[in-house]
């Protein structure tokens, strides 16, 4: 895998926003992690580490930067408006 940046937007009507949290919706971390996995095109993977540093709100555009690392690992940094919202590393194998 070569370094890559993928962009996606959180639609204001995303179903995960309705209950997370009433009155101040934010994108659940699991949805953001799923976007990282999809962007990386990974089959089986496990999360080595993740650090959530800021919320992702309805209508936000998120950029996912992926960086290959030694040992089949992939580093990732998610930014929103130039601010890091999530960073971490996956240990993985490419999808078949």
Segment 31-52, tens digit of pLDDT: 999 999 989 887 778 899 999 9
Q: What per-residue confidence (pLDDT) applies to 94?
A: 54
**Residue 13 sits in a domain of what CATH number?**
3.10.129.10
The model's confidence at residue 19, banded by pLDDT at 50, 70 and 90, is confident
- Structure token pair of residue 46: 């496990």
- Catalytic annotation, pick one of 8, 14, 20, 84: 20
Q: What's the number of domains the chain is made of?
A: 1
Residue numbers of the domain that contains 53: 4-94
Verify whether residue 46 is a known catalytic residue: no
Range 13-36 average pLDDT: 91
Write b or e for each residue in 42-66: b if 16 or more Cβ atoms lie within 10 A of its Cβ, otherwise e. beebeeeebeeeeebeeebebbbbb
């Amino acid at each position: 895998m070569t370094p890559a940046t993928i962009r996606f937007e959180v639609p204001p009507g995303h179903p995960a926003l309705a209950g997370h949290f009433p009155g101040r919706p934010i994108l659940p971390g699991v949805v953001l992690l799923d976007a990282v996995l999809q962007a990386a095109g990974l089959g089986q993977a496990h999360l080595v580490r993740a650090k959530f540093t800021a919320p992702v709100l309805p209508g936000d555009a998120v950029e996912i930067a992926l960086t290959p690392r030694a040992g089949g690992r992939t580093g990732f940094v998610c930014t929103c408006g130039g601010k890091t919202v999530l960073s971490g590393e996956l240990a993985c194998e490419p999808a078949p």
